[in-house]
Amino acid sequence: MVGIVIVSHSKQLALGVRELAAQMVRGEVPIAIAAGIEDPENPLGTDPIQVSEAIAAVFSDDGVLVLMDLGSALLSAEMALEFLPEEQRQKVYLCEAPLVEGAIAAVVAAAAGSNIQQVMAEARGALLAKATQLGGVSSPASVVDSHIPASNPESPTREIRLIVSNRLGLHARPAAQFVATAARFQSQILVQNLTRNSGLVRGDSINQVTTLGVRQGHELLITATGSDADAALAALQVLFATNFGDDNAAFNHPPVLQHKVTPATDGELSGIPASAGVAIAPVVHYQPAPIAVTEYHVDDTEAEWQRLQAAIHIARQEIQAVFSQASFQIGDAEAAIFDAHLLFLEDPVLLEAAYGRILEQHINAEAAWQGAVDEVATSYRTLEDSYLQERVDDVVDVGQRVMRLLTGNAPANLHLESPAILVASDLTPSDTVGLDPTKVLGICTTSGSATSHSAIIARTLGIPAVLGVDAQVLYLADGTLMALDGESGKAWVEPELDILEQLQAKREAWQTAQQQARATAHQPAITRDGRQVSVFANIGSIADVQVAVANGAEGVGLLRTEFLYLDRTSAPTEEEQLAVYQAIAQVLEHRPLMIRTLDIGGDKPLPYLRVGFPEANPFLGWRGIRFCLGNPEVFKTQLRAILRASVGHEIKIMLPMIATLTEVRAAKAILGEVQAELKQAGIPYDTGIKLGIMVEVPSAVVMADRLAAEVDFFSIGTNDLSQYVMAGDRTNPRVANLVDALHPAVLRMVKQTVEAGHTAGISVGLCGELAADPLATAILLGLGLDELSVNPQSIPAIKQGIHQLSLAESEAIAASALQQDSAQQVKELISTSVNRPG
């Protein structure tokens, strides 16, 4: 297979390009990077020796394609060839293709088995192919003249009409899912809002899809032209059938509530109630410095385009980091806001508009980007739908991030010395997600709405917020005492004593309720009739375990060790792993810690631990325990670190992806070898350490009685078990709707595993996402599980749910669930069976 090398002055840029390209082919194509130099003060640059090493790392007789960004990268690549043997040098090709588009086109061609000449041709034609698809043009120069691709009369065109049923229509997150799904197919996908009688727009442009103004009840016409048109429309139809993952029944509309404006008293400001709670503190103003854009003439338009692309790719990395942190801090559902931000950066209409401005007007990247962003923002502002008008905040947020990188402006970070109420004209989603709720006690802005993404994030963070107050608040001096009530939408400047007393009493009552909830979270999870269930946490870092303990975790039911292997070029050493395992165990003190051994493969590839050949279906391939048994040195290094960390702690070892008894016995043999080596070297470890397995393969369920005799505990991984039971790839939108852990077939597998484990006298836990679903708590209790392991944020809610249930009613619900025909019927059963307070 052809190998790909990416040469860039910026290591961050190269990593981003490699990640993007690798995702296109699920890690099947060998990609190496040679980027940056080892100089902390001036890290930008290229190194010929580094380039030659990268070429050697992916070299094959099929050839190596080298892509470069600009300037001295070409010189370094040419010099690197001098370090190679002549027979290798003849098979290395330096290519002038655009770095990002070229890399993507190249890896797709390489994965398809194309030869080096074909791969290079695809890379060179990357921009031309995009331009041709968009308007039948022969050069990217005119792509901005036509946003709608020309139809190919030889390709079949299919169409469907769909009614939008999810509550808020195609708002940012569903629009992001629509565009991401459409982009997976070769067919040209166009969309029309028949209800609004709109024109056709491109299905791969998040801005064009969003600005259709699609709301609940609207009818859409979706056409697909191309060889995979039927498959594309089927995948999109699944999104609509599943409401894009939105839960209409459980949807809790933000408090745009019938807001009654009462006459203001002196010092009282009326606004929009956006996030409940009371805050009393001095004000601090937050106003990021505006970025001044100066337009000027440029001669080298291609270099200017490359400069804009570099800024966009760094912005993408920043947003991905924000998304990861947000997923942990506010949950996956709300963090999906930043999925839409990522798609905004990839919007072909926006990128082509910016490219066209640079190429045709010969203006600098800053001016071209600002003009293109302003055009999109204006299209949002002119919409009649107020909810969709608010999405302009996301457009501006992303646009400013790229502009900051282009101009070299430092990010606007807020550092508070003491708790305060933040006063601003507005906050972007990126601003809001970075706030520390222990320092920012409240938010007061002169614009915004209760349905903005910033307001959603503030509610999730638990920061009281009042938006849309009079602009006079911007002229208050820092340190001025303010009070605000996010429930009523009022704020007070230097409030009178009686107002302060009322608000303090309200705040104390709220704090008392919160304290009681936290106190309950630290108590054992016991049902009304005395059945106790352990509630553990799923974690993937030291930071996670600290949050887990603070939220009442009774231990860690799943430590995903893959984080130790990510973002590096070689596997972590024994000492590196030992330090992390010990640090986590120390935070847990006496609580149990179940460490899952390395689980790569499937949707979790690692470039330096490649399987060695492309796999048609990685989920059914060499992953989990299979990889570890095939790489005993990697496996033994991890086992040594776990055993050494076990001294004085309750650490358990958990093996992933177990399908056979042979695998368990082979793993136990290797564990025995490591234990013997440590004993001989006089290195202490817990000689009674427990060994368990993940039950996530149907064969493990069928053989659970035999497997239970080999191990000390079971932990059911319903994420994988669901897809294997239902024969549906959970990453494939065309079949993802099948993969529901509440399907009776999956629940029966859980029941069978629990019964086999208990018959053998071992404990059985569940660590899949199902455990964190409050709807499923009653069923899981009724099926007899001993432990539930969930994300740290879900612990209080799950414990509260257990307190409110009885084992008897849970068993009845579970028995009935097993007799249903579908996951939907199970959900309906739960909603009618479980009494919910209030």
Which residues are designated catalytic? Answer: 453, 767
Q: Which two tokens stand for residue 488?
A: 């009523």
User: Using an 8 Å Cβ cutoff, are 319 and 398 in contact?
Assistant: yes
Contacts 24+ apart (CB under 8 A), 86-93: 88/55, 88/56, 88/59, 91/59, 91/61, 91/62, 91/63, 91/64, 91/116, 92/55, 92/59, 92/63, 92/64, 92/66, 93/63, 93/64, 93/65, 93/66, 93/120
661 within 8 A of 710, measured Cβ to Cβ: yes
Helix then strand then coil, % of the chain, to nearest 5 = 50, 15, 35
Pairing outcome for strands 3-8 and 31-35: parallel
Residue type, 610: R
The secondary element (H helix, E strand) that includes residue 443 is strand 440-445
Q: Would you say 284 and 423 are in contact if contact means Cβ atoms under 8 Å apart?
A: yes
State phi, psi for 173 to the nearest 5 degrees: -70, -45
Long-range interactions of 111-116: CB distance < 8 A, separation 24+: 111/1, 111/24, 111/25, 111/28, 111/29, 111/614, 113/1, 114/2, 115/2, 115/62, 115/63, 116/2, 116/62, 116/63, 116/64, 116/65, 116/91
How far is it, in rounded angstroms, from Cα 658 to Cα 498?
A: 65
Strand partners, 538: 558
Tell me which amino acid residue 395 is.
V
495 and 503 Cβ atoms separated by less than 8 Å:
yes
CB 484 within 8 A of CB 464: yes
Closest C-alpha to 209, from 236, 187, 228, 248? 236
Residue (of 6, 126, 10, 12) closest to 65 by Cα position:
6
Please give the Cα distance from 208 to 380 (Å, whole number): 10
Q: What gap in Å lies between CA 89 and CA 87, rounded to an integer?
A: 6
* Side-chain-facing half-sphere of 340: CA atoms under 13 Å: 29
Amino acid at 178: F
* Alpha helices (H) along 94-251: 99-111, 116-124, 126-135, 172-182, 206-210, 229-241
Q: CA distances (Å), 173 to each of 23, 166, 322, 459, in order?
A: 20, 12, 16, 18
The answer to whether the beta carbons of residues 725 and 748 sit under 8 Å apart is no
* Distance in angstroms (rounded) separating the CA atoms of residues 317 and 484: 36
What does each C-alpha distance from 377 to 23, 214, 393 come to in angstroms? 30, 17, 9
Pick from 726, 710, 718, 815: nearest CA to 765: 718
Instruction: Indicate the helix (H) or strand (E) that contains 691.
Output: strand 690-695
Q: Going by C-beta distance under 8 Å and a sequence separation of 6 or more, which residues neighbour residue 220?
A: 161, 162, 163, 164, 191, 192, 193, 194, 212, 214
What is 270-326 written as a DSSP string? E-EEEE--EEEEEEEE--PPP------B-S-HHHHHHHHHHHHHHHHHHHHHHHHHH
Residues paired with 442 in a beta bridge: 421
* 64-68 β-sheet, strand order: 31-35, 3-8, 64-68, 92-95
Annotate 525-547 with DSSP letters as a single string: EE-TTS-EEEEEEEESSHHHHHH
